[in-house]
Structure formats: structure tokens, C-alpha cells
Chain A
Amino acid sequence: MSAASAGGAARAARQQTHLWVAQRVTAMVLAIAVVVHLVMIIGAVRGGLSAAEILGRTRGNEAWLAFYVVFALAAGLHGAIGLRNIAAETIGLRGRAADLAWLAIGLATAVFGIRAAIGLYA
């Protein structure tokens, strides 16, 4: 292996490690966020579910906005990195281009969630 390709391999390994760390950190965030989200749902549907009640909780509330932005970001990235690993092992889809594509898919998924959170806030 030449020095250049050895350096490239080390850089690739470092980027793959970053993706792995991102997935573990988002998993920790999701463990808490999913519990909060479920408890909130159970609380919200007691005595009937209405749009007015939900909007009353979320509209103008920066804390819920921040919570759901973080939640959506974590879910989008976590899911995309997980799908990346499955694709690599089952169909051999690997490489930097594939990684960038998965990152884009993860961020796009997160943007949908963030858009919904902003919709409930504004």
C-alpha cells in the first residue's frame, strides 16, 4: 500500500468512525426522546384528541420546538446510518459516495420532521 492510499484509508476509517459515533450518540438521544414523546402522546389523548389541544400545547412554545427539532435530527441521522450499515452488509453498497448519499437522506428525513415541528410552533 502506498503512503497516499494508506493515508486515504486512515481518513476513510476516521469518517466511518464518526458515522458510528453519530449513530451511538443519536441512539442515546432517541432513548430519552422516544420516552418523552410517548408519555406526551398518552397524556395528550386522555379525554379525547383534538387539534386545538395539541396546538395549544405546542404553539409558541420554544421548549417543545427545540425538543422536536433535536428528536427529528436524531431520528433522521440514526435511521439513515443504520440503513447504510444494512446496505453495506447485504448488497455490498459501500464507499464515500454511498456514505454521502445516506447522510443526505438522513438530513432530508430530519428536515421533514423539523418542518412539521415548526408547523406546530408557528
Chain B
Amino acid sequence: MASAASLTVSVWRGGEQGHFARFDVPARENQTVLDVVTYIQRELDPSLAYRFACRVGMCGSCAMTVNGRARWTCRTHVRKVVGAGGALELRPLGNLPVIRDLVADLAPFFDKWSRARGTFQPKEAEEGAVPDDFAIVPPASKQRRQADAGIECIGCAVCYSSCDVVAWNGDYLGPAALNRAWTLVNDVRDGARRDRLDAVAGDAGCHSCHSTQSCTERCPKNLDPSLAIAGLKRTLFWDTLLGRR
């Protein structure tokens, strides 16, 4: 595909209602999708709105829907995703309101992190005060390993945008918020376990997950939100069955 002299790029323009605009962009041997978007904005149409910051896969702000699939555009080489004849289709992330062009509004996504009690609540120090002493958490302990498995999430919303259950149920908390909750359920220093498990239970929470694992498949950090959600379900199953909640 690198042989095509130029790429035919369809870019979403407008808000919820909008249309695709076509741009011809020179094809290069080494080129990310973010390079293509930047080229369009700098050389062809300065009114194009898009979002990026670090360009190296650290910040998670450049995620978009590329040829139907949510991805970090900065870490996606054009030659790996380009269609026949150099075709690229760029949309904002799905399952989120569109602000303009390629920029999705991530407010509902982060609101759900707080609904899932995604903030650390120190056990012996209310109101976020600094505890008196260091907590000792053995790195090899099961809970520490389970927390470690999900802690590297940078909140790019690729999983949320890829989740069918979010599309079916607007209240569903989504993979990232539930993954965050699971890391905190496994944090032995945290004191809000009970409230957090209440917050992630039921139809808007982990129990709606169908385990189809699009989140796990598409997570650019190779995290496994499906496994985290299964962990929440398992914990709530035994707690409910044994009358612990």
C-alpha cells in the first residue's frame, strides 16, 4: 500500500450532524495517521479541529476512529490500516458526543470514572489526608498483582468507544471506569471498597458486560478490562451469595 502516491482521506466535519470532506495527502514511507491529520490542518484546511499533545503514546488524547476502529492516531502507521487505493476514513471517537470535526467530548467518559468511585480513598485518613506511615504492600501479593495489571490506563477512551454495551446502554460505566474500580478494590490501602462495589454493581455496572472483549482487543496499552470486570463480577457474586453485602 505504500506504493500509492497519495492518500484519499475522508475526514468528518461538523458536529453530531455533519459530513465527510475529502483530502488528498501525499503518501510517505513512514507516516502515522496523526501525521496525516496534521498535514491536512497545516497545509490544506486550517479550520480542522483535532486533539493531540504528546505524539508518542503517553497522553492518550489523539484517539480517533480510523477506518471504523478506535485507535491512537500517533501510534498507528498509515500503511498498517490504509484501505484499497490509499483510502483512510477518520471520525471522532464513537459512543461520545461530538464537539467538532475529530474532537469528541470526553466529559461523559470521565464522569463515569467518578460515578464508579475511581478516586483513591485512604483507609485511615479521611478526606484525603496523608496517612501517618507508609503502607507495606508486598509486590508479589495477589491483590497487588491484580492492581498492577490495570494501573497503566491513561484514559484515552479507545475501549469505551469500542464497547457495544455502552452503545446499547448509555448509563453503562464502561471498561475503563470499571478497570479503574477493580484496581482500587485490590488496593489494600483503600477504605471505600464497599461503596465502590455498590457503585459498580447492577445494570449500569459490571453486570451488563457481555465479555465480548473488544476493550481488551483494542486497548493500546494491552490492558485487559474484560478481566477486571470479571473480577468485579466474581467479587460481587461471592459477597452477595455469602451475605457479605
Residues of chain A touching chain B, judged by Cβ–Cβ distance below 8 Å, are 10, 12-18, 20-21, 24-25, 88-90, 94
- How close is A115's CB to chain B, nearest CB, in angstroms? 29
Contact with A along B180-216 (1 / 0, CB 8 A): 0000000000000000001101111101100000000
B41 lies within 8 A of chain A by Cβ: no
Query: In the complex, what distance in Å separates the CA atom of A34 from the CA atom of B241?
Result: 23
Can you name 13 A-B pairs with beta carbons within 8 Å? A10-B199, A13-B198, A13-B204, A13-B205, A14-B202, A17-B201, A17-B202, A17-B236, A20-B202, A20-B207, A21-B237, A88-B169, A89-B168
Which residues of the partner chain A approach B241 to less than 8 Å between Cβ atoms?
21, 25
* Complex contact A14–B168 (CB within 8 A): no
Contacts of B198 in A (CB 8 A): 10, 13-14
B201 in contact with A13 (CB, 8 Å):
yes
B residues less than 8 Å from A21 (CB atoms): 236-237, 240-241
Q: Which of A13, A24, A89, A90 contacts B202 (CB 8 A)?
A: A13
Q: A14-B198, A88-B169, A89-B168 are in contact. Are A94 and B203 (CB under 8 A)?
A: yes
Which residue of the partner chain, among B168, B204, B233, B240, contacts A18 with CB atoms under 8 Å?
B240
Q: Mostly helix, strand, loop or mixed at chain B's interface?
A: helix
Considering the complex, give the chain A residue whose CB is closest to the CB of B207.
Answer: A20
- Residues of A contacting B236 in the complex (Cβ-Cβ under 8 angstroms): 17, 21
Further 13 A-B residue pairs, CB within 8 A, beyond A13-B198, A14-B198, A14-B245: A10-B198, A13-B199, A13-B203, A14-B201, A14-B202, A15-B202, A16-B203, A17-B202, A20-B207, A20-B233, A21-B237, A25-B241, A89-B169
Residue of A nearest to B236 (CB): A17
> Which residue in B165, B168, B169, B207 is a CB contact (below 8 Å) of A17?
B207
Choose among B199, B202, B245 the residue that contacts A16 (Cβ–Cβ < 8 A).
Answer: B202
**Which chain B residue shows the least CB distance to A88?**
B203
Q: How far is the CA of A90 from the CA of B236 in the complex (A)?
A: 25
Residue among A10, A14, A88, A89 with most chain B CB within 10 A = A89
Q: Which partner residue on chain A sits nearest B239 by CB separation?
A: A17
